[in-house]
Structure 1
């Protein structure tokens, strides 16, 4: 009995000790979390990858792959952080398509490594289409890769293809067709476009409309310098934007900043050919144009019509505030610095007294060569340009067959800080503008 009792007691003590150690480990795990992370570590969720080839796309450059792209997009939308793949080595012919994000999950990636071709047959475009590829209402959407969007826009630029410019209308039989934008992103948040090439768009190459949070970097945009209205990047009603390390060559503004844009940073961008980097045009047909907090720095412009420009229509309302242009290198630019409050691209425009208010604009370290005029500040009689600050300006003439002109200022007020080359004696000192009073333009926050 004693032996049995001793063995039994030893066994009980051993079991109790093991239970205590187990309980201690569990309690410790509950306190630190390390135990559960180790023993219950879940596998990372795999990203859904959707390849357009798996949906019937041929990629031979001739077959219509539009439906395959739409089907692939439909599946990609069903999963968060999914990826739609357009593979390398293929050319996909895709007609005008809207990729809606209304029912999509967040953080979808459109991986473009191949080439997407726009149709050159006018019937593929239908009537009233103003974009080729459109992405709407997406959050965390990203377009990336080393592929190309080729708008094949030359058929839209020439008069020889009249069927592209006109479609049947119910009243007069014919009406003017608007040329489409290559890539339009509408109503998005936290958008990224990187790595890709967009070329030969019928009209604008890349447009952001009503977006909040845009990042564009290391992309290339290319079309001939004489291609009409082929803006590189077009911003409208969009805020919190960064564009950097991008090459832009087109037939209009390399970057155009329209009404409703605020908090925009553009840096390390090469522009040319083209019309430069522009705010506007703003306020057409008496509308309100509002742009604020724009920074443009470390820019190279070559063989462009203007360098950095603000353009507004007469009769408009609104204001442009808090704009900084700095470290701008110009080469063979017709007019490197321009403000034009009398902008008009019609054959005739009436004179009107109302104007978009322009104030607090700085130009710093702008250097290089011009071929027509170094500076042109044409401001409104009713609302002169206020608080213009120019410093470290060195612009030298480089005749290129144009008639050269001296710096021009009209109703422009501000100050100059040396060095200033050439001499700019037309800018009026700020204190002489007090008779104009403070601008009363108001814009929504």
Structure 2
């Protein structure tokens, strides 16, 4: 029997400046409309494993923040919530550092976003060597999103600096979006996303005969095999 957490007024579990952590068999339950109730937050931590857990909340099921590396997230059932996120990074001009993050064999359903990397304008540093593999998606508003214009409260000033995103892979991602835009890759105008890979991705628009759409801006990379909807990547 694992640990069960319910209705925290804020984040349910936080690992800050930790090393060599294993989380297994955790259940988190909170309403989907409850703000800032992340399931598990990892920040400034290394060699973290999060596995075989069920998380429903009002924010990110799992969030990996700056200063984190060698984080392995697997066999997570996520929903409701905001999916599994890298970030947010670069807020307040922060220099971010995130690398070697691996997300695999997860089920994400009825969330706002599915697999997300989110960075603020004006930050610096990097997020690299990130992989999302073998993920089932069901009725997620935007299943795949890289957003370098993250601004949850709107009216954020435009800034030229950005966290550099590179070496990100989306492999074997299948399921449905509840919105028309299934994939959104919005990279910084001044700091392009580089070395993105999409392989064996198939996302349909739930309940619609029209296909889902993918959008991309200043995103460089390649596709391998079948990728639906087609992602507009630059070489």
Distance 1:323 1:344 in 2: 22
1:396 aligns with 2:204: yes
From the superposition, tell whether residues 320 and 224 of structure 1 become closer, same or farther in structure 2 (CA, over 3 Å).
Answer: same
2:191 equivalent in structure 1 = 383
Distance 2:66 2:76 in 1: 22
Which structure has the greater CA radius of gyration?
1
Kindly state the Cα deviation for residue 289 of structure 1 after the two structures are TM-superposed: 1.1
Deviations 1:227-246 (A, max 9, x none): 11100001110110001000
Distance 2:154 2:103 in 1: 32
Aligned residues: CA RMSD: 1.2
Kindly state the Cα deviation for residue 351 of structure 1 after the two structures are TM-superposed: 0.4
Unaligned runs of 5+ in 1: 1-145, 147-194, 430-445
1:219 equivalent in structure 2 = 26
SS in 1 for 2:213: coil
- What is the TM-score with the length of structure 1 in the denominator? 0.51
1:240-255 residue pairs with structure 2 within 5 A? 240-255=47-62
Considering fraction of residues, name the structure with more strand. Answer: 2
Kindly state the Cα deviation for residue 399 of structure 1 after the two structures are TM-superposed: 4.2
Kindly state the Cα deviation for residue 277 of structure 1 after the two structures are TM-superposed: 0.2
Deviations 1:312-337 (A, max 9, x none): 00000110010010001000011111
2:95–2:124 CA contact under 8 A, matched in 1: yes
2:82–2:114 CA contact under 8 A, matched in 1: yes
Moved over 4 A (4+): none
1:76 equivalent in structure 2 = none
2:233 equivalent in structure 1 = 427
Distance 1:202 1:208 in 2: 17
Distance 1:405 1:356 in 2: 28
Kindly state the Cα deviation for residue 423 of structure 1 after the two structures are TM-superposed: 2.5
2:62–2:84 CA contact under 8 A, matched in 1: yes
SS in 1 for 2:111: coil
1:62 equivalent in structure 2 = none
Structure 1 counterpart of 2:71, from 261, 264, 267: 264
Distance 1:280 1:405 in 2: 26
1:152-163 residue pairs with structure 2 within 5 A? none
Deviations 1:265-285 (A, max 9, x none): 011110000000000000111
Distance 2:188 2:26 in 1: 37
Distance 1:205 1:263 in 2: 22
1:324 aligns with 2:131: yes
2:60–2:84 CA contact under 8 A, matched in 1: yes
Considering fraction of residues, name the structure with more helix. Answer: 1
1:418 aligns with 2:191: no
1:121-270 residue pairs with structure 2 within 5 A? 146=1, 195-270=2-77
Deviations 1:111-135 (A, max 9, x none): xxxxxxxxxxxxxxxxxxxxxxxxx
1:364 equivalent in structure 2 = 171
SS in 1 for 2:155: coil
Kindly state the Cα deviation for residue 422 of structure 1 after the two structures are TM-superposed: 2.0
Kindly state the Cα deviation for residue 367 of structure 1 after the two structures are TM-superposed: 0.2
Kindly state the Cα deviation for residue 405 of structure 1 after the two structures are TM-superposed: 6.3
SS in 1 for 2:92: helix
1:85-100 residue pairs with structure 2 within 5 A? none
2:144 equivalent in structure 1 = 337
- What is the TM-score with the length of structure 2 in the denominator? 0.96
Unaligned runs of 5+ in 2: none
2:93 equivalent in structure 1 = 286
SS in 2 for 1:308: strand
